[in-house]
Homo-oligomer: A and B are copies of this chain.
């Protein structure tokens, strides 16, 4: 009896452990089967290994970064003033980069949304030129662009055409080209209100077109548009780069053709009082999601003939936008749209507002410097009256002798951009507030020392 009992115990024990083994192995297999990962495993592991490289929170390693060490891993790329193999060394005397508009302020957002924003590109993804509708533009992406604008309320897209470009950059000249006319008696003047984004001039100049010519300050052309036979093309940047003002076109009349550059018309930077509804509007993910490097933008166009000319320009210039950029933009916009856009715009707005408040308070302590003022407006996205939280501080040196304001700031180890870059006086400097938190913290620290 005792022996039988023992045998039964043993039998139970064996069967229970066998069952346990069975379930555990099953769990393991099921986990892998659920993921269904085979060919993508290696690439995923590579990407995660690079993402795990420690750059001390002051930099990041990229899959395509320089490989200098013997292990074959890419090196850390550090925020400005940080160095060393793991970006842990701060150079105290180094000049902070407040010049370029790299939108790293959104990098932490994407790190927080790593799983939803990653993209796996198969080796055979979209090898051909065309999507299934024989265009160079992803319909799924165009859908998301329209949804995005309806959520944010910053642009009317119903009944409008959409053209994709390599960032807004490529679309600027596509629009100039489309709005100028062939075989006209003189080149169409291309103008903008001072201070303006310098690419309007440098880009228009490089194409040396018979049909258009950059002519500078828009206000000088106010009386030339009513009876002219030639179109005058005006770049209207709203909010404006560099000063964040909600600019309107200064020219009017049948021959005044405006290109509205709305790169910064997102809740990060600006109240959204009303959906923009101009004839030619240009947007970009660069200042929306922060992916300047992806080179993806779009134009919203009312007129079919202008749209046709822009599409033709895009086809002949680059055969459309990289299908890889379009795939990535699709994934990013899906994340933006999730939850009605609240997450990214809350993050972006809070970050930018915080930075703006800090810079404003600091500079208000000094009579040597002044800062642009932007009137508060009701924001239909956040449902409240909002102060601006502009992308750039447009700083003026008030002392008579401080004619070169950037030199004054450089004396305090701050590298901004001269006012003359924006066709304004060098008494002004643009300071970029959209860079990494490290860059902003250093900028803030040095501004505090200066005032």
Contact = CB atoms under 8 A, between A and B. Distances in A.
A169 interface: yes
Q: How many copies of this chain does the complex contain?
A: 2
A85 B124 CA distance: 20
Contacts of A210: 208-210
A127 B106 contact: yes
A290 to B, nearest CB: 5
Contact of A36 (B3, B37, B45, B110): B45
A437 interface: no
Given A118-B43, A118-B120, A316-B206, A325 B325 contact: yes
Interface in A184-221: 199, 202-203, 206-211
A6 to B, nearest CB: 5
B24 A36 contact: no
A73 interface: no
Interface string A331-344: 01001000000000
Nearest to A296: B322
A450 interface: no
Nearest to A124: B110
B40 A47 contact: yes
Contacts of A408: none
A2 B391 CA distance: 85
A324 B328 contact: yes
Interface of A: 2-3, 6, 9-10, 13-14, 17, 20-21, 24-25, 27-28, 31-32, 34-49, 51-52, 60, 62-67, 75, 77, 100-104, 106-107, 110-111, 113-130, 132, 138-141, 166-167, 169-170, 173, 177, 182, 199, 202-203, 206-211, 290-296, 312-313, 316-328, 330, 332, 335
